Structure 1
Amino acid sequence: MKLTRRDFLKVSATTTGGLVALGATGCKRNPALSSLAKDDSNSIDGGEWKPTTCQGCTTWCPVEVKVVDGRAIKVKGNRYSKAHNGNICPRGHMSLQQVYDPDRIKVPMKRTNPKKGRNEDPKFVPITWDEAIEEIADRMLELRENNETHKYVTFRGRYTYMRDIIYGKFTKIFGSPNGISHSAICAEAEKFGSYYTEAYWGYRDYDLENTKYVLLWGADPLASNRQVPHSINAWGDVLDQAGVAVMDPRLSATAAKADEWLPVIPGEDGALAIAMAHVILAKGLWNKEFVGDFVDGKNRFKVGEEVDESTFKENYTNGVVKWWNLGLKDKTPQWAAKRSGISAKQIERVATDFAKAGPNVISWLATGASMHVRGGYTAMAAHALNGLVGSVDNKGGSIRHSDIPVDDFPGYKKYLDKVAKKGLEHHKMDQRGYKEFPALKKGKSGKGVVTNNAADAILDEEPYEIKVAIGYWNNFAFSCSGTDRWEEALTKLPFFVHITTNPAEMTQFADIVLPAAQHKYEKFGYVKSKANTHAYVTMNQPVIEPLWDVKMDETEVPWLIAEKMAEKGYDKLIKYFKTEIKDPETGKSPANEYEFSEYALKIRTQPLWDPKIKVNGDQINGWKEFRKLGVWNSESYKFKQNWDDFGTKTGKFEFYSETLKKALGKHAKKHHTDIDDILETCKYEARGELAFVPHYEEAYRWGEEREYPFVFFEHRSRLNREARSANCNWYQELKDVDPGDEAWNDVAKINPKDAKKLGIKTGDKIKLISPTGEIECEAKLWEGVRSGTVGKCYGQGHWAYGKVASEDYKNKLPRGGNNNEILPPDYERLSGSTARHGGVTRIKIKKI
């Protein structure tokens, strides 16, 4: 297919002008809601605009889909969204090709070839839903008969908050502790930084409207970070009113527009952040209102000199002098220049400009700077800059999100029988909380998830064998580093069910394949997020009749399994579903899986749409109106609301993290050792008190430089819908919207200076070889990557998924190479996060 940008824009053009604007703040009833019934823009040209949600990334944008004669033909941003003001990004439009993808799985299928492996044909044959569900129920009930319910696992991928049915209640009532989410292959190390400074485990919002300077740590807001539609819409104003500095080894779309580009050596962002903190303190540029000051007003932060803590009085922070003494006093720009590859002059200039523009500034941390083996402290250092300049929880700065009043599902414990209770006593199968995997989510040992380690747990049968698994909306055999381990694990797994829209790599190892409803067009659910100082809930709902025999993964499938189990004598699950999940308007119990899905959604979101419940945000008059609107908005964020108590152990913003000290101490005590031993086990360098402050850690890399001379890094495409875009023609034809990339191709971007030494030119077929694997792609000479590094976009390399995604789908030949085949299976262990950024591996290049 040949498609020009003009053609794409004709198809995907979004109209936002002339729409009714929502008020900026407050919780009064929106005037737009009163005129909703009269709004004829919902029925134009013979079609109807229907609200739902785009989940092409974790922005989770409220959108509207134009449906004509039952067919979805166009997408735009939801006019009622205060977070995005009716805007979406290119990813939102590509979903049209996904829902009507001819390669979608259309009916349930069963494997007939007992042998598993990449090179084995599963020989799938179509079966009915009843046949598929019966086999699943039989396999699960066999575990119950043998008191082995803990040997079942639900592998969750991308989700709506209906996840709490299949991933939560279904799995637990059955008797397994094993709801294993994908979260740790996404960004948990990023959350580590904000939690162990200000006790906030989550993605931050950023007040772009009022900011005066933005530091971007591996972030590319115009293309691939969170809140993309709002960032695209607001970035012109940001460039007019604020300075922008981008730390990234690649000239990203955002870096190309920035005032400063700092092409840092991958994994050495921490050196920059620590040196900038040094400059801010040494120059006396910290925010006195937030941090405090020396008692006599004299700055004692001098290079190489320790400071007496008693001479400084802090206001809303804890340990700024300790931080200086332990981790900053010697960390000058000259020191950082040798490690980061950025000149001391530029480091000092950026730090100075950033601090002088404070407190209305942003230090924007993203996964590229934090998801590496020693990335937890980098995340703390980058976020601590917000604390130094007083921009945390402040106007124009880094903020949390407003409260979102949704209900939980009713409790399930009275539906547990003896078998289930015994099964739930077992440790989760991903080894979270083991000595080498602290996974310190929200300060608790083992509270996080170690997603990628689940493959090793299956292979090693540690802590026990896994016999039955259901995976949904995931593709770990493609999306996890060290993919060969997942292929081995899935080959070993006795019975695997995959609920999916397309025949992904993970599907090739399944025993039963169930066709999933497409989240944006065919499914009930809701998600919550934030942008533009507003939190919001946006609804997924069916806007078209499905063409194929699909079911909703998180609700309809567990209902059907529960029904089938009840027929066979085990009725606890269906009793919970029918007794506890009732229509909150009528009190009616669900009669089928579709009603169950809608009632479950109504229960969770009732505080948002029930006019009898007063909330601080949009006042919506009933369920029908909520379905017409598709989105609920909070009131605008109130700045400085956490300054009096951040929720940390000290209640302060912690430069010296008593919160982290407590968490590490508890984990160490659990394993009868000390914190230093835990840090050594987790591949960190810090010992003693240094462990409790943001500090520099040398980048940890696989491979020796003499054999593997290049540092490899990857980035994301602005067209990548959670790695699910590759079977769309639009994705392939327009791939060159990503700086340095090529349409219908997979290229490794190499600096011309490096390529000249190797005798490589653009278009040459090459192999990228790491200590753990190799892939093939094409070379692209490009000045936009730092010399000594090789950059490659993630998303190509599918050997399954469909006829467009792969070069030769029938023969399982990939289009380009999957980065995860050369990325080693390593971790940022304090958070449980997969280490996939920061130059975690070195590579060598071989011309084919």
Structure 2
Amino acid sequence: MKLTRRIFVQLVGSAAFIASSPLLKAQGLSVKRLPLPCSPSQGKWIGTTCQGCTQYCAIEIFNQNGRATRVRGNQNSKGNHGFCCPRGHLIPQENYDPDRIKQPLKRTNPQKGRGVDPKWVPISWDEALDIVADKMIELRNSGEPERLLYLKGRYGNTSHGLLYGTLTKVYGSPNNFSTSALCAETEKMGPGYTQGLFSYRDYDLGNTKCVVFWGTDPFSSNRQVPNVISKLGVLQKNGTLITVDPRLSTAAAKSKEWLPILPGTDGALANAIAHVLLTEGLWHKEFVGDFENGKNLFVSGKTVDPALFKENNTLGLVTYWNEEAKDWTPERAAKECRLDAEQIKRVARTLGKAAPNVIVWMGPGVCMNPRGTYTAMVVHALNGILGSVDNVGGTHDPAKSLKGSYPSADKYVDELAKSHGKGKKVDGRGDKEMPAAMKAKLGSGVVTNNIANYMLSHPDFVKIMISSWTNTPFAAADGKRWEKALANVPFFVHMVPFPSEMTQFADIVLPSTFNAAEGMGTVTGFGSMHAWTSIQQPTCNRIWDVKQEENEVTWLLAEKLVQKGWPALLNYYANEFADPETGAKPTNEKEFQLITTKIASAPCWKQGAKAIPGDQINGWEDFRQKGMHNSAPQAYKKHWGGKFPTPSGKFEFVSGALRKVLEDHSAKYNSTPDQILEACHYTARGIKGWMPHYEEPLRHGDAAQFPFLFIDHKSRLNREGRSANLPWMQEFKKCDAGDRSWGDVLKINPADAKTLGLKDNDLVEITSPAGTIVTEIKVWEGVGPGTVAKAYGQGHWAYGQVAAKEYGKVPRGGNNNEILIDDYDRLSGTSCRNGGFTRVSIKKVSKII
């Protein structure tokens, strides 16, 4: 209420009456508020897809007079049930961020480095693409197309056929890469080498009786956040929640049991739980099998004759017991993991009692460390012992989403592209010390962070770099290597919506659409026993001169390349792509955008001889209106009976695929599997090299010099690292347990803080062998002694006027990746960021230097 002079006089005049009235004195002065005329919001909900994490939830955005104003989950979704998490609600502010790149930019300062002003000048799209095309033709004419490098970040289905999948292939470079190895790829190795599933898993939350959130916090980050939040009440009513995590995460706060494990010792705990399950006869006999006479011969410390155990859907359980689990008592694991032996027993019995309706939900915190493949295997092996794989209330393959494929570009690949496009990739995959054997195929895993090392050791190799939706100087461990590498690139094109740290090194900046609200394409995802294909389409008017990088920009660039004498790319687009409804060929970038989106989604809406499985959608317009297609639900026990995609057809505790990988790789280098394991920094030798087992954590930094184990975790408001410039994110940062708004804190146990003489809000330097950052202290009992935790997301020195304290120069807080060591789980090629593999020291300072 606005206080006017008239109201003030009335209030003063009635003061005596108010003081003499007990009733009014008790109730306080009330002012009558007249209702204002109102009506329902005028606008329309439009279906699209959130890309705030790799769950890719189908959502709807409310369009009011051409502007995107509100967000909700798609009401047709069987994956998120019509909800979206806090990250989704940040979309309007991200879309209208005033610091977005509004038109193409050209660098005029040849100097490159942190704090160096690029001195950009705005140019037209025509001029920008003309410059890019000239550089590409020049490189091709010199016979060096392999020196073009393309790096993709967050993406939709269209990129596989247009940017990542086609551009480098037709041009003639083998050097196309994704950033997936910076995220969580190692966890795929657990189910991959046990049950043949090199993928993230889905979970039957609606029917489970017990869930273990192990190294993950799906209430806050990673995948299936809306699904898990919406199921919380059911989970707490019908089952038991357990969390294994070194810090008090949101999941831990919601759980009945929290096991604050010593970082990196997860494999020891998994072995101890398996030990209890087997010695107490709590394994799931229908799935696993049993001793022939029915007597349990699993006795602590004693081996078992494998011939006495008849397995049903598993292979090698007794070998795993003999080689590993028999000696891992809860008491031994308690010392290794800094836990209570009785709690380990209690948790194991809870799991055994609930089996097979159990989920051991493994996340990146388990395995994003130098020996993560084996940790992933031993933690996921619990799902095999408990019989939860493919079972009711258990863990599952993702259901299959429907998606179309683009026509082959093979006939447009000329001799130059053929001869140069098959060369060795510069990320080191397939090297002796980097098998990168994702999907049990040597050299198939991307080693994203190692690209910078190659660029530094071969500073003249990359002559053109094109990248979309990436920020490796900020998002990759020891990211300053990327700053040095990018400073050496003669010509760098960055296609992004926001001016990130990586953008500061670009020569040409092409502003991308914010695809959740302005772009057009399709995205697939899964969760809650369904998969989906959802559209991204304009939910508002574009107010800046931006273009969708996957289809609009690729078409326009292809047109420019024709003008320079190289028509192959445009010929491929114009001749091979046709509208699935009308057969019309594209003639411009807008038509190409529409046609590529329709092709990618056609199996969802185009009726053929067979009925569409899952949702029944009547044509393209119906698909656009609904915004998505839900698959049929996942089936139970579909791999039981010898149908697992493993060499034996069973869930393997002794992995035939991993054994073959190690033997093939050692033969290539005239070596032995043991020598390969040693070169890759694993401790396993012999048969343990291809079975689940505990590897002692490999930690970087001398314990005396760097006494604390550093825990990196993700914020529930972190939209793939792109939300730090949003005031909403900064204001609600306090929603992350232990954190505070508009700040960045290192969380430390009270006992450690007392020893160091630290208190809340003290400014400290955090130093590792890789570097130093500065943040404030938060004294917090949510981390154990000897460990410190910090959320990833702050520490931007670019990105915008909110993200940085002084744009281009002074960061807000510290970036975790500036102190994380550049290391890898070498069997997968994945970068490390978890498991306390980096040691740090803490020193109080008076100011930021």
TM range (shorter): over 0.9
2:557 to 554, 561, 578: 561
Q: Is 1:835 aligned with 2:835?
A: no
Is 1:262 paired with 2:259?
yes
In structure 2, which of residues 395, 401, 406 is the aligned counterpart of residue 404 of structure 1? Answer: 401
The CA deviation string for residues 222-245 of structure 1, in whole angstroms up to 9 with x for no partner, is 111310001000011101111111
Separation in 1, partners of 2:64, 2:434: 52
Aligned counterpart, 2:578: 582
CA distance in 2 between partners of 1:482 and 1:615 (Å): 48
Match of 1:163 in 2: 159
Secondary structure of 2:840 counterpart = strand
Displacement after TM superposition at 1:434 (Å): 1.0
- Root-mean-square deviation over aligned CA pairs: 1.1
Match of 1:468 among 464, 482, 493: 464
- Deviations 1:2-30, CA, capped at 9 Å, x for gaps: xxxxxxxxxxxxxxxxxxxxxxxxxxxxx
1:518 shift after superposition: 0.2
User: 1:744 & 1:589 partners in 2: Cα distance?
Assistant: 51
Please tell me the residue identity of whatever aligns with 1:769: T
Say whether residues 1:603 and 2:626 are aligned partners.
Answer: no
Q: In the aligned structure 1, how far is the partner of 2:400 from the partner of 2:54?
A: 18
Work out whether residues 481 and 820 of structure 1, in 8 Å CA contact, stay in contact via their aligned partners in 2.
yes
Give the AA of the match of 1:816: G
> In the alignment, residue 85 of structure 1 is paired with which amino acid?
H
Match for residue 648 of structure 1 among 646, 649, 653: 646
What do residues 488-534 of structure 1 show as CA deviations (whole Å, max 9, x unaligned)? Answer: 00001111100111100000000000101001011111111111111
Equivalent position of 1:331 in the other structure: 328
Q: Is the 8 A contact 1:406 1:605 kept in 2?
A: yes
Shift of the alpha carbon at 1:190? 0.6
What's the counterpart of residue 27 of structure 2? none
One-letter amino acid of the counterpart of residue 274, structure 1: N
**Partner of residue 303 from structure 1, selected from 300, 324, 329:** 300
Distance 1:373 1:615 in 2: 44
Please name the residue that 2:658 is paired with.
660
1:845 aligns with 2:838: no
* SS of the residue 1:605 aligns to: helix
1:496 is paired with a residue of what secondary structure? strand
CA contact (8 A) 1:394 1:640 kept: yes
Question: Alpha-carbon deviations, 1:761-784, whole Å to 9, x = none?
Answer: 000000000011000000000011
Aligned with 2:433 (options 433, 436, 443): 436
SS in 1 for 2:273: helix
Of residues 469, 480, 501, the one that matches 1:505 is: 501
Residue 402 of structure 2 contacts residue 631 of structure 2 at CA under 8 Å; is this kept in 1?
no
**Residue 699 of structure 2: aligned partner:** 701
Find the aligned partners of 2:656 and 2:296 in 1 and give their Cα distance: 25
Instruction: Please point out which of 620, 625, 630 is paired with 2:627.
Output: 630
Of 792, 810, 826, which residue of structure 2 is paired with 1:813?
810
1:723 counterpart residue number: 721
Q: Hey, what's the Cα distance between the residues in 1 that align with 2:40 and 2:552?
A: 33
| Superposed structure 1 runs of 4+ greater than 4 Å apart | none
- Which stretch shows the higher mean deviation, 86-95 or 609-618? 609-618
Match of 1:246 among 225, 243, 265: 243
Q: Measure how far apart 1:155 and its partner are.
A: 0.4
| Matching residue of 1:356 | 353
The answer for the alignment partner of 2:282 in structure 1 is 285
Q: Are the counterparts in 2 of residues 405 and 615 from structure 1 also a CA contact under 8 Å?
A: no
Alpha-carbon separation, structure 1, partners of 2:673 and 2:523: 38
Q: Does 1:772 find its partner at 2:757?
A: no
Residues 538-592 of structure 1: CA deviation (Å, up to 9, x unaligned)? 1111111211000101111111111101011100000000011111111111111
One-letter amino acid of the counterpart of residue 50, structure 1? I
Kept in 1, the 8 Å contact 2:401–2:525? The answer is: no
1:726: how far off?
A: 0.2
Moved more, 660-669 or 225-234: 660-669
* TM score, norm. by length of structure 1: 0.94
- Answering whether residue 72 of structure 2 is matched by residue 76 of structure 1, we say yes
Report SS of the residue matched to 1:714: strand
- Equivalent positions of 1:666-685 (< 5 A) are 666-685=664-683
* Per-residue CA distance 1:570-625 (angstroms, 9 max, x = gap): 00000000011111111111111121111011112111110225222111111111
SS at match of 1:67: strand
Match in the other structure for 1:688: 686
TM-superposed deviation, 1:317: 0.4
Name the structure 1 match of 2:741.
743
User: Could you list the per-position Cα deviations for residues 655-709 of structure 1 after superposition, in whole angstroms to 9, with x for gaps in the alignment?
Assistant: 1111111122222222221111111111100000011111000011101111111
How many angstroms does 1:142 deviate by? 1.3
- What is the alpha-carbon distance in structure 1 between the residues aligned to residue 725 and residue 325 of structure 2? 49
**What secondary structure sits across from 1:329 in the alignment?**
helix
Identical pairs, percent: 51
Does residue 1:374 correspond to 2:371, yes or no? yes
| Residue correspondences, number | 804
Quote how far apart the aligned CAs of 1:125 are: 0.6
Paired with 1:756 and 1:302, the residues of 2 have a C-alpha distance of 45
State whether structure 2 residue 423 is matched by structure 1 residue 448.
no
| Matching residue within 125, 139, 144 for 1:143 | 139
SS of aligned partner of 2:165: helix
Tell me, in whole angstroms, the C-alpha distance in 1 between the residues paired with 2:250 and 2:219: 6
Partner of 2:46: 50
Verify: 1:316 aligned to 2:307, yes or no.
Answer: no
Give the whole-Å Cα distance in 2 for the aligned partners of 1:694 and 1:669. 23
For 2:43 and 2:541, how far apart are their aligned partners in 1? 15
How far apart, in 1, do the equivalents of 2:341 and 2:140 lie? 64
Q: 1:44 Cα shift?
A: 6.0
**Counterpart contact for 2:402–2:533, Cα < 8 Å:** no
Report deviation, 1:376: 0.9
Structure 1 residue 154 corresponds to structure 2 residue 147: no
* 2:535 is aligned with 1:539: yes
Deviations 1:256-283 (A, max 9, x none): 1111110001111111111111111111
Which AA in structure 2 matches 1:401? P
Once structures 1 and 2 are overlaid, which stretch shifts more, 671-680 or 626-635? 671-680
Structure 2: distance between partners of 1:622 and 1:489: 48
Q: Identify the residue that residue 7 of structure 1 maps to in structure 2.
A: none
Q: How far apart, CA to CA, are the structure 1 residues paired with 2:566 and 2:796?
A: 40
1:639 to 636, 640, 644: 636
- Checking the alignment, whether the CA contact within 8 Å between 2:427 and 2:447 is kept in structure 1 is yes
2-side partners of 1:239 and 1:177: how far apart? 50
TM-score after normalising by structure 2: 0.94
CA contact (8 A) 2:288 2:384 kept: yes
Mapped to 2, the partners of 1:188 and 1:234 lie a distance apart of 26
Distance 1:502 1:754 in 2: 39
* Residues 180-214 of structure 1, C-alpha deviations (whole Å, 9 max, x = no match): 00010011101111100111111111111111111
Who is 2:60 aligned against? 64
- Partner of 2:220, secondary structure, is coil
CA-to-aligned-CA distance 1:321-354 (integer Å, 9 cap, x gap): 1111111111111111111111111111101111
Contact 1:611 1:619 in 2 (8 A): no
| Structure of higher CA gyration radius | 2
- The answer on whether the counterparts of 1:477 and 1:487 sit within 8 Å (CA) in structure 2 is yes
